[in-house]
Structure 1
Amino acid sequence: MSTGHKGQGAKRRDYIAREKSFSGEKIKQELVATEDFNLPSWAKNGREFFEAADKFERRNGVVFRQLIIALPCELSHEENIKIARNIVQKIVGNTKAGTWAIHSKPAFTTNKENIHMHLMYSDRIQNPNLKEKPKELYFIRYNAKHPNEGGCLKDNSLQVGRRKNPVMNNIRNQIAEAINEGYKCAGLDIRVSGKTLEA
């Protein structure tokens, strides 16, 4: 897991979606699939969403979180796309906006495929009980006394660098669960674990 700050969001989204300066023929071939999710109505795509985050998020604010997740090379691209959507649902749910993409290229150490998922999303939580916030308000500081006047509340449960964060352990387990569900649907007995190598 990593984080990106003001000015880095749109470029990172271009990279994972293989767009703009990352759309050359060779690098574009690595893209298996990409989707934007949970976007507010003012953003026609993930790039527009992260452009707004780059512009309106506070100076030192986190604009996005990114997870890079290895996917099963034993499964087809279609099966891994289902796993990717399952991972998004388990980890992000329906209230945070972002983009995911699957990349595939030859692995350096084996003859197998290095297939992996990039999941980037905003920590800003869209409250379905409030009127949708325009981009000028969406990324400003949350106002607990007057929620309609401030920005979207930020989920601060994840802090990169905290080694024993139970939320991170839960994310690892959810990823393993989604991958194992994919293996099971494919009729394979392979299973992965979200536990540490030491455990």
Structure 2
Amino acid sequence: MKKFLASVAVASALVSSAAVAEESGYFAGLSWGYGSAGNDISWLGLTGGDYKSALRFGVYGGYTQMFSDTFGARYYANIDFGGAYKDDPYHIKAPWNIYVNADAIYNFNSGGTEFGVFGGLGLGYATFEESFKIAGIQLGDKYNSFDLGLNLGLRVNYELFGSKFSTELYTRTGLYNSEDIDNSIIGLRTSYNF
């Protein structure tokens, strides 16, 4: 009887591990983060830059291609909104940004849950509005720019109510912007895997 119960326990652990294993397929999700913009690179969205940080939110979606049980790639687009960065009397607002991304992903199982890491590049189109006051006169301009960034993060894949999800702690470090204003962000995002 003990051998039978041990066999059932091992089989259950294997089934739960297999149930969360990431497979090739489409995904869509929501993101929330803390972004910064400035004329210096902000590593992991936490350092540098001349401007203050602000909250950003967005949507993203794409396709995951698994080459093995642990290694894969994903291709996705994201758009994010919000963000007013202030450093009196200077003010910069980034109303929306849109990016296409390609990341390599590596997953590993631990106790029936799949954890992973990812890294890749994102190329995008960023918008900025800047304003400042000189002698009580409001001045400013609008910019549209191309933007290149480095994506890095940690992830977990899990099942909830019979559906597969991924949640990530992600960072985007701005590497190049045609207007010399680097976008960086650190945040959380969750996706539903089809």
> TM-score category by the smaller chain?
under 0.3
Bigger CA radius of gyration: 2
Select the structure that is richer in strand: 2
Length-normalised TM-score, structure 2: 0.26
Select the structure that is richer in helix: 1
